Amino acid sequence: MNTLLVLASEGAKNLSIFDPASPSAESIRNLSMLVLAICGVIFVIVEGVLCYCLLNFGRSSEKGMEPPQVYGSKPIEIAWTAAPALIVFILVLVTTRALWEVETDPPKPQSDDNALFVTVVGRQWWWEYTYEIYDGKKLGFTTSNELHIPVGQKDKKRPVHLALKSADVCHSFWVPRLAGKTDCIPGRTNYVYLQPSQPGLFLGQCAEYCGAQHANMMIRVVAEPVDEFEKWLAHEQDIAVDDPQVAQGKGAFLSQSCVNCHRVRGTSAVGTFGPDLTHLMSRKTLASGMTANSPETLRGWVTDPQKVKPSCLMPAFGLTDHDRDQLIDYLLTLK
Ligand code: CUA
């Protein structure tokens, strides 16, 4: 039910920067390893000298006797100035190289570049994804919290370019196995690129404190083989299926204030403050990864969102049991 359980069941290992699955995450891992190694060597030398001195030059049994005092040593002073300068110089070089590798400006979309462009908007407390362009073709639909991306091949890469924005306060988009942490700042656009080397579910987390539910602003990236991804893409682009069996529930949905915040493409619900619900049931989780998405959890969520995610922007609407049942029956058809 809670964040920790969801994470634990899918493996906290999935959040490790030491198991990269994308070029920029790899650069960051390599840099971290090098910095750790250099710091490790310095630690061993410094602690070694300290222990050696403690053991060999500690206070002797002859109380009151001071050991010989030595002042000044040019060679040692040169050594302890030159060595750190050299280390800092190496760190500057490797860090600059890693920054260069990680911070690629997004290229102009072209019809043959196989790239996917998505605009990511951080919101209190969920993620909005607008699919802009894929393979040079315009898309323009919106979904939330679960980002689907393609996995390319060696000879046909599928880079994913994300434009990061915020609708309210600062957030930070961080999927450790795919890329470095990048802030979503109001009034500004930052870019990050992913290029997963294998299919799978990659987890992430908002990494900038953004209010009461900051900890429950999880990111799920589903990296899929190209054909599966394209199937998903085609399905998501469709408008909602109109099932006459749930016409009453649909009526209830459209007549309630749901429509002020939510959109269901193909209906008169065009709100944009909350997640797009056109394919709500194609998502595995609710409330930005807090709980699995099932009829029971959906019922709990619609009944009282504040109980599931206190302070979230969705209020409880106090529907009658009858209206709520019908409304949920309708939501369940949004596959
Ligand atoms: Cu969004 Cu922390």
**One pLDDT digit (tens) per residue for the chain, 335 residues:** 455 455 555 566 788 899 999 999 999 999 999 999 999 999 999 999 999 988 887 766 566 667 678 888 899 999 989 999 999 999 999 999 999 888 777 777 766 678 999 999 999 999 999 999 998 889 989 999 999 999 988 888 899 999 999 999 999 999 999 999 999 999 999 999 899 999 999 999 999 999 999 999 999 999 999 999 999 999 998 887 888 888 888 888 888 888 889 998 988 888 889 999 999 889 989 888 888 888 899 988 988 889 888 888 888 888 888 888 888 999 888 88
Longest pairwise C-alpha distance within the chain: 99
Query: Residues 133, 141: contact at Cβ < 8 Å?
Result: no
Give 264 Cα–ligand 1 centroid separation in angstroms. 26
Nearest ligand 1 atom to the CA of 169 is 1
Give 7 Cα–ligand 1 centroid separation in angstroms. 17
Ligand 1 surroundings by CB, under 6 angstroms: 122, 125, 171, 206, 208-210, 214, 217
- Please tell me the total number of residues recorded for the chain in this structure: 335
Nearest ligand 1 atom to the CA of 208 is 2
Among protein residues, the one whose CA lies closest to atom 1 of ligand 1 = 171
Pure H helices in the chain: 3-10, 23-57, 74-102, 226-237, 247-255, 258-261, 295-303, 305-308, 321-332
Nearest ligand 1 atom to the CA of 124 is 1
Nearest ligand 1 atom to the CA of 211 is 2
Residue 56's SS3 state is helix
Following DSSP, what letter does each residue of 213-230 receive, concatenated?
A: TGGG-EEEEEEEEHHHHH
How far is it, in rounded angstroms, from Cα 25 to Cα 177? 6
Read off the amino acid at residue 48: G
Write out the two tokens for 73.
């040593």
User: How much is the pTM?
Assistant: 0.86
